[in-house]
């Protein structure tokens, strides 16, 4: 048999274990969603940056047109030197 005092104590004990929310700790849902959206935007920007870096690497390895022209000229000079060596031999 359960007394009413025991029943009150039991209910109180169980309810004490449930944490109560404080008003200052609770953020409005709009504020929470803004944080989530800004995090998503940051992730999207990072992905766009990685894609851009990859496309730069694959298209030109990060070299300008001037650098490519200079490298081509150097290779042509080397090829001409080798050709002259073989013709002289």
**Residue 18, phi-psi category: left (phi > 0), alpha (psi -120 to 50), beta (remainder):** beta
Residue ranges per domain, the chain? 27-88
74 falls in which pLDDT band (50, 70, 90)?
Answer: very high
Task: Tell me which of 84 and 36 has the higher pLDDT.
Answer: 84
Q: Model confidence over 7-64: pLDDT tens digits? A: 887 777 655 666 677 776 777 777 777 777 788 888 899 999 999 888 877 776 667 7
pTM beyond cutoff 0.85? no
73 falls in which pLDDT band (50, 70, 90)?
Answer: very high
Task: Tell me which of 65 and 50 has the higher pLDDT.
Answer: 50
For residue 36 the two structure tokens come to 């989530």
Confidence (pLDDT) at 14: 57
CA 18: distance to chain centroid?
A: 37
Helix (H, G, I), strand (E, B) or coil at 19: coil
Tell me the CB-side half-sphere exposure of residue 10, using CA atoms within 13 A.
Answer: 6
CA 30: distance to chain centroid?
A: 24
Four-CA torsion 10, 11, 14, 20, nearest 10 degrees: -150
Query: 24: which DSSP letter?
Result: G
């Amino acid at each position: 048999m359960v007394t009413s005092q025991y029943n009150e104590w039991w209910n109180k004990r169980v309810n004490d274990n449930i944490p109560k929310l404080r008003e200052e700790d609770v953020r409005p849902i709009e504020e929470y969603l803004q944080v989530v959206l800004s995090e998503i935007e940051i992730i999207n920007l990072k992905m766009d940056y990685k894609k851009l870096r990859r496309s730069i690497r694959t298209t030109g390895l990060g070299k300008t047109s001037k650098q490519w022209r200079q490298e081509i000229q150097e290779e042509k000079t080397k090829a001409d030197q080798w050709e002259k060596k073989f013709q002289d031999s």
